[in-house]
Amino acid sequence: MNKKVDFMKDWTYLWYTINRKVESNMKKMVIMDIIVSLCIGILNFFPQKIMDLQTRKNKELVEQQMDQMSLEEKIAQMFLISYRSDEMDSNLQRQLQYKPGGFILFQENFTSYSKTIQFIEEIEKTAEIPMWIAIDQEGGRVQRIKALEDVHATEIPPMMDLGKTNQSELAYEVGKVLAKELQVFGIHMNFAPVLDVVENEQNKVIGNRSFGADVKLVSKMGIAVARGLEENGVIPVYKHFPGHGSTITDSHSDLPVLTKSKEELLASDWIPFQNAIENNAEVIMVGHLAIPSITGDATPATLSKAIVTDLLKQEMGFQGLVVSDALNMGALVNHYSEKEIYCLAIQAGVDLLLMPNDLERAIFYVKEGIQEGRVSLEQINTSVRKILMLKNKKINKKRQPKEILGSIAHRQIIQKIYP
């Protein structure tokens, strides 16, 4: 009997001990789960709070900047000028005194490495608010920095060749190469990638600048190149909304007309741009082409509120900056006066106006448009706030060393396009 009682005591003690250990371990596991959850919550909470704080500080800075700016200075922030020379002469100095929002570089601005750097720095020194230093560096036949005389930048193939690889990882690496080499010169903004879907073989203005004829391929590869640019310090500009791929007419010489219906465009040309918007696109370029099925007439997209504001911003949900294609192109100047071009573009909802013929005259015309009720001061203030917000967030002084231009590592990445 005593043995049975002892056995029961031992068994009860053993059961009690095991339960205590299990309960203790379970408690520890629960506590660990709580600690891990708290850590994850903290890690998610603080970065968001930091971002919110940075955004709030940026907004406060923008309001301070806005309060200190004259109307003329606000209008000037909406223009990116160009000058086809490598010299800081009196004509360029005259335009820069009006404080343009940015400067776009062309091959004529690239001579020797040292002279090009000096030219860009002289331009930047004239600005109180940092200027966009922008460029068209797509690859293929659009590569401005190839004009350098004493340094060979990496030769970037046409995007159609890159598209044929169907490798988004490689597209990202090409975007990274572009960004690193542009940063040698302190360039913040690249008018690339091209998201036009080339459906017409007779289309020479886009042609192999596009990734191809497949909508999904163009989306995937274009967004990957853009990510490579953005994550390495250069703002990508997706172009040319609402789609230049199925046209024949070159907008440099005259106005192309898209004959597609809205339903057709939604199912093709607009898909890459919609995907870019969903991937947080910050800048989209609008091209000079007419879509009668949307506007009811031959108004170029750049000058159409129905396309820029109603469609791109409201219906498609784009909240970033809209930049026009060059304002001196035949598609516009053959049909509109200078004053009409500037005033209509602003009222359409364009935030950045590219390459006016003369900045002083452009500011004068926009001021006249405001006085005549053709341009809304509210629209100008809205655009300038967006411009300053993005400038304060993105423009930095980071430079890459000269040696990265045409480096072996960069050339090896490009070689992967042609295995």
Q: What is the pLDDT of residues 169-195, one digit of tens each?
A: 999 999 999 999 999 999 999 999 999
Indicate whether 419 pLDDT > 60: yes
Look at residues 305, 220, 294, 298 and name the one whose alpha carbon lies nearest to residue 263. 294
Torsion 116-117-122-124 (CA) sign: positive
Give SS3 for 367.
Answer: helix
Place of tokens 């090409």: 174
7 falls in which pLDDT band (50, 70, 90)? very low
Strand 283-286 to 238-241 pairing:
parallel
What single-letter DSSP state applies at residue 329?
Answer: S
Residues 392 and 62 sit within 8 Å (Cβ to Cβ): yes
Indicate whether 250 pLDDT > 60: yes
Look at residues 227, 217, 201 and name the one whose alpha carbon lies nearest to residue 268. 217
Give residue 33's pLDDT.
Answer: 62
What's the rounded mean pLDDT across residues 209-231? 97
Residues marked active site are found at 252, 325
Residue scoring higher pLDDT (244 or 44): 244
Give residue 4's pLDDT.
Answer: 47
Measure Cα distances from 48 to 37, 44, 51, 52 in Å: 17, 7, 5, 6
| Segment 328-364, tens digit of pLDDT | 999 999 999 999 999 999 999 999 999 999 999 999 9
Structure tokens that stand for 151 in this block: 């340094």
Indicate whether 376 pLDDT > 70: yes
With a CB cutoff of 8 Å and minimum separation 6, the contacts of 235 are 188, 189, 190, 229, 282, 283, 390, 394
Instruction: Name which of 46-55, 139-148, 229-238, 263-272 the model is least confident about.
Output: 46-55
Please measure the distance between the N-terminal and C-terminal CA atoms of the chain and give it in whole angstroms.
Answer: 87
What's the rounded mean pLDDT across residues 135-163? 96
Give residue 291's pLDDT.
Answer: 95
| Segment 64-89, tens digit of pLDDT | 999 999 999 999 999 999 999 999 99
Task: Please give the mean pLDDT across all residues of the chain.
Answer: 90
Residues forming beta bridges with residue 80, ordered by sequence position: 102, 354
29 falls in which pLDDT band (50, 70, 90)? low
Give residue 201's pLDDT.
Answer: 76
Residues 184 and 399 sit within 8 Å (Cβ to Cβ): yes
Residues forming beta bridges with residue 239, ordered by sequence position: 194
